[in-house]
Amino acid sequence: MELLGRVPLFSACSKRELARIASLADEVDVPEGKVLTREGDPGREFFVVVEGKARVVVGGRGRLSALGPGASFGEMSLLDQGPRSATVEAETDMELLVLDARSFSSLLNEVPSVARKVLAAMAGRLRVAEKEATH
């Protein structure tokens, strides 16, 4: 739960909610270079970066952005059952919290403050993508 409390996505959660999240999420260590999601593949997990950095690539255009501690990704495919919209690769060794589709759905239903933050983060990424597409 101490780990969860350091993640901005979960900062508004009560101890009870953090305990529930801890019961849903798996802590996973991944080595530098590991591909976490591949653009076009089905999405089965939601990720929260605890430590380390990942690079995001869309359409083979090189580095689109970097994800560091507190960032989350993978929610879009779980929300719409569509394919992954980007490839995400560990740029350094990483520590992640990972929720499968069922756990992610439970999290959004049981902890509304997290659902709002996930949607806000997704909206922010959409705004950046739209701005980049017009330039």
Per residue in 83-129, pLDDT (tens digit) is: 998 999 999 999 999 999 999 999 889 888 888 888 888 788 788 77
Please answer whether residues 70 and 44 qualify as being in contact, where contact means their C-beta atoms are separated by less than 8 angstroms. no
CA of 133: how far to CAs of 1, 94, 127, in Å? 39, 30, 10
Number of domains in the chain: 1
In a domain, 116, yes or no: yes
CATH number at residue 122: 2.60.120.10
Angle at 46 between CA 44 and CA 52, to 5 degrees: 125
In a domain, 132, yes or no: no
Structural domain boundaries enclosing 52: 2-127
In a domain, 133, yes or no: no
CB atoms within 10 A of CB 71: 21
CA of 53: how far to CAs of 13, 34, 48, in Å? 24, 11, 11
In a domain, 67, yes or no: yes
CA 107 to chain CA centroid, Å, is: 13
In a domain, 23, yes or no: yes
In a domain, 135, yes or no: no
In tens, the pLDDT along 3-22 reads: 777 777 787 788 888 888 88
Predicted local distance difference test score (pLDDT) of residue 96: 95
pTM of whole model > 0.75? yes
Predicted local distance difference test score (pLDDT) of residue 63: 57
